Amino acid sequence: ELKLRNTTNAELGASAIEMKDNFSDSKILLINNDVVQTKNISNILSKLTTQIKVIANANELNDYPHYIPDLVIISCELGEEDPLRISVTLRSSAKFRDITLILQADEEDTPIVLKALELGINDYFTYPVDKNELLARIKTQLRKKHYQDNLRNDLELTINLSIKDGLTGIFNRHYFDTHIKQIVKKANDKKSSVCLLMCDIDNFKHVNDTYGHQAGDIVLKTIANALKNIFRVTDLIARYGGEEITVLLDDITIKDAIDIAERARKEIESIDFKIKSQQNSIKKTISIGIAEYRVGEPINSFIDRADKALYKAKETGRNKVVL
Ligand code: GH3
Ligand code: MG
Ligand code: MG
Ligand code: MG
């Protein structure tokens, strides 16, 4: 039921609190070279958070490469620098695109304010500013930002859960099945070269049987992680089955695929796996079967050839790469 007329101030306040009323984790940046103004604004905003940073010009942001504020207040009087240009630059950068932008204007700055609002700035205020008005505006924006951040995080988490394997963090079988279809279609359309690596941990059962299933999990995780570091970000690494990991390499010659598979094999061989209950670390190896996609070939047959190559690697002694 929507009660518009009878809502008391107390009720309004309560619903605001439900949204977010603690802003101590919010980071606010002032881009302003006027010491009196920044002191005054910081003073007002210190009611909300202690995390207030002041810089005199936008370039100073480069001095803090890991700093990402939630909200930026950009002064209209920055001398050389154009506040609108700063706003657009921040918005269009991957790092700062989600931050809230507030313009601090003068009474006579109306044309800039209009332009800024058109360019996607979130809000503005005119200086000198009423303390309560400024607090109300900033709180509203920080609440909105908080809400959007949560929404985005939930969405990312959901997407992540549906395409990634929970134990290893690499892509899951479902994602692999979907992705290989696209890559093979591309290979057929553009005649680009695609290779598939089918990797399997050698004598993995022995780890489980000797040190327990949890130790096995750690070995599997470590190997998946090592593989992630070896291949390019564009290569698709997926958990195909229990301890089988596939790597789909797009736009690569078979020679390069063999080279990188060999590097992966050596890298795994060099790892000292730490097992909780054991004093000494243990060694593990992987075997890799490779297949190069043949134009027109069904996906099943492509995977099957990589599988057969893996089987041959196992049959002929393990810890090797076989084409
Ligand atoms: P091979 O060299 O022939 O591959 O020997 P292997 O022991 O690795 O082969 P096999 O396929 O017989 O055993 C694979 C084992 O991997 C069996 C299964 O219990 C174990 N396994 C599969 N998934 C997981 C997992 O998520 N965690 C752990 N700890 N073990 C797993
Ligand atoms: Mg002025
Ligand atoms: Mg195995
Ligand atoms: Mg296996």
Instruction: Report the chain (323 residues): mean pLDDT per 10 consecutive residues.
Output: 63 60 95 97 97 96 96 93 93 94 92 92 96 97 94 91 95 97 95 96 97 96 97 95 97 96 98 91 97 97 98 98 97
pLDDT of the residue at 12: 61
CB contact burial 121-153 (16+ within 10 A = b; e otherwise) = bbbbbbbebeeeebbebbbebbbebbeeeeeee
CA–centroid distance, 60 to ligand 2, in Å, is 23
Distance 8 CA to ligand 2 centre (A): 40
CB distance 285 to ligand 1 below 6 Å = no
pLDDT reported for residue 17: 47
Task: Give the residue numbers marked as catalytic.
Answer: 243
Establish whether residue 109 lines the binding site of ligand 1, counting it when its CB lies within 6 angstroms of any ligand atom: no
Residue 6: predicted pLDDT: 64
Assess contact for 284 and 273: CB atoms under 8 A.
yes
Q: How much is the pLDDT for 2?
A: 59
Question: Which residue carries 């000797």 as its tokens?
Answer: 210
Sign of the dihedral defined by the CA atoms of residues 11, 13, 19, 21, in that order: negative
Q: Contact at 8 Å (CB) between 220 and 168? A: yes
Interface confidence, given as ipTM, is 0.95
pLDDT, position 8? 67
- Check residue 19 and give its pLDDT: 66
Helix 9-19 to helix 131-163 angle, to the nearest 10 degrees?
A: 40
203 lines ligand 1 (CB under 6 A): yes
Residue 120 Rama label (left phi>0; alpha psi -120 to 50; beta): left
